[in-house]
Copies of this chain bind each other. A is one copy, B any other.
Amino acid sequence: MLSPLRFEPAFSQPALPGVSAGVIRYAAGEEIFAEGDAADQVYELVEGTVRTGRLLRDGRRQIDAFHFAGEAFGFEAGDIHRTTAEAVGDVAVRIVRRRALSDLAARDGDVARKLYQVTIAGLQRSQDHVLMLGRRSACERVAGLLLLLADRKGEAAFDLPMSRQDMADYLGLTIETVSRTLTAFLQEGLIALPTVRHVELLDRPALEALCE
């Protein structure tokens, strides 16, 4: 799933009085919270990109989602974070005390409804991710990620905020396979790669066809 939780009306730009506990900046690669940490805060991404994911003991990593500006992350059913969140590039997040948010939701039905909508949207993204990982080939997965990123930016040309390793860990592949797939797309004229971190989608219909 890419970018699970988007907050718009209630607690976006002018953070609701009382629920925000301030903005914090993180440098590229820094950990925002880790698997096992107390989950007493949620986060609203003001600027930058965040990845949330999990690590197996032997070092295998799976990224659950990339989060972009305007989205919220860090929600948990229990009181412990089950995932780790790290800054992809530099990042600014607004911290929201979970307690304050749940109190607000108890008082304000609109907030509660929004919270529910945001969660169920995250669930649907996760289901898309499951389909991608369970039944799609490497080509289809990479194409899917490029389209997802393009849709998010609203542009056919965009910067890749994340490394090849991040892409691989989101897609359940290796960096080598991601790299090879991108150069294959390049050679087929489906994309341009002026720099390693900038993509242009040249043949969107063909990429979409790859995703079924």
Are B77 and A133 in contact, with the CB atoms below 8 A? no
Query: Size class of A's contact patch?
Result: 35 or more
Are B76 and A135 in contact, with the CB atoms below 8 A? no
With contact pairs A106-B109, A120-B119 given, residues A212 and B56 touching in the complex (Cβ less than 8 Å): yes
A60 cross-chain contacts in B, Cβ below 8 A: 135
* A120 and B131 alpha carbons, distance in the complex (Å): 19
Q: Which A103-139 residues sit within 8 Å CB-CB of chain B?
A: 105-106, 109, 112-113, 115-117, 119-124, 126-127, 129-131, 133-135
Q: Which A166-211 residues sit within 8 Å CB-CB of chain B?
A: 169, 171-172
How many copies of this chain? Answer: 2
Are B123 and A112 in contact, with the CB atoms below 8 A? no
Are A127 and B82 in contact, with the CB atoms below 8 A? yes
Q: Which A136-186 residues sit within 8 Å CB-CB of chain B?
A: 169, 171-172
Are B126 and A130 in contact, with the CB atoms below 8 A? yes
Q: Does A62 contact B (CB under 8 A)?
A: yes
Are A120 and B77 in contact, with the CB atoms below 8 A? yes
Are B61 and A130 in contact, with the CB atoms below 8 A? no
Are A172 and B134 in contact, with the CB atoms below 8 A? yes
Q: Which A69-122 residues sit within 8 Å CB-CB of chain B?
A: 75-77, 82-83, 105-106, 109, 112-113, 115-117, 119-122
